[in-house]
Chains A and B, each alone.
Chain A
Amino acid sequence: MANFTPVSAAIGGGLIGLSAVLLMLLTGRIAGISGILGGLLDWRADDKDWRIAFIAGLILAPLMAGWMGYGMPTPKLPASWAVIIAAGLLVGFGTRLGGGCTSGHGICGVARLSARSIAATIIFMLTAIATVAVTHHLLGG
């Protein structure tokens, strides 16, 4: 557990929870990122303004941190484009089919004590752990 960073994890997690609560208290919306993006891409929806504003804030955060001298390092991704594209497709399709992701189910849904979201969170955690076990250990990547 050499990489364990409990203090920054607790502060960051608290802020994520605060954001979800504020969004609900102020605008009445669930802070589920796949739902926010999905609604933006759905041509049936006509409430795109707040979605764009939220995502803009999300992208602005590392830029502002960078101006203050805490630049965000470029995320390390697998070398294979095929893996990146396959993962993106699975994340996009899966979150829409399942109605949420780590934020919508994992934080907002679990906080509402929704059995649906608790089930979804357990399932995506298990398949993600299994995927990492296969790619990192069985295939030795």
Chain B
Amino acid sequence: MRMIASLLCGLVFGAGLLISGMVQPTKVLGFLDIFGAWDPSLAVVMAAALAVSVPGFRLANGRSRPLLADQSFWPSKSQIDRPLIMGAALFGIGWGLVGLCPGPALESLATLSPGILVFVAAMAGGMTLHDYWQKPQPKLRNEAALAEADG
């Protein structure tokens, strides 16, 4: 059931990116290009997503546990630290270079476009590089380690 729920959520997420046009790098770059022919669509996407997720998360937070799992994994970090600032800054540069963030990049694998395949391989490489650089801690098992990520 948990697998089916995850699959359906991925499907709905993908439909949202598709309908909003955010799978198109040119559409995203149109938003980021505030000195050119600015396209505010991405701001509307975020505002609409928040209009649903703010009350939805409030509802989820009030429940003791999720419907199909034993516990919820709410991000635990609250500090604005150096890694957060550096990481967000680097991500933004990469995002601005081609107009692809992780969601649309993975979804675009469906097109089998060579450029997308190379981008996703490089993105996965960047993630792995980070994990190695962070000195792997063999004893730190999944949940504790992963709960550290915000999303």
Q: Of residues 6 to 64 in B, which have CB atoms within 8 Å of A's CB atoms?
A: 6-27, 29-30, 32-42, 44-54, 56-57, 59-61, 63
Known contacts A3-B27, A99-B148, A86 near B8 by CB under 8 Å: no
Pick from A33, A116, A121: contact of B102, CB below 8 A. A33
A92's closest neighbor in chain B, by CB?
A: B126
Cross-chain contact B150 with A55 (CB below 8 angstroms): no
Please, how many residues of chain B have a CB less than 8 angstroms from a CB on the other chain?
A: 129
Cross-chain contact A85 with B101 (CB below 8 angstroms): no
Pick from B14, B21, B41, B80: contact of A57, CB below 8 A. B14
Q: Of residues 77 to 124 in A, which have CB atoms within 8 Å of B's CB atoms?
A: 77-78, 81, 83-117, 119-121, 123-124
Cross-chain contact A107 with B7 (CB below 8 angstroms): no
Pick from B11, B60, B86, B145: contact of A64, CB below 8 A. B11
Please, how many residues of chain A have a CB less than 8 angstroms from a CB on the other chain?
A: 122
A112's closest neighbor in chain B, by CB?
A: B57
Cross-chain contact A94 with B142 (CB below 8 angstroms): no
Interface centre among A23, A27, A83, A117 (most CB of B within 10 A): A27
Interface residues, chain B, with chain A CB atoms under 8 Å away: 2-27, 29-30, 32-42, 44-54, 56-57, 59-61, 63, 65-75, 77-80, 83-98, 100-111, 113, 115-116, 118-131, 136-138, 140-143, 145-146, 148-151
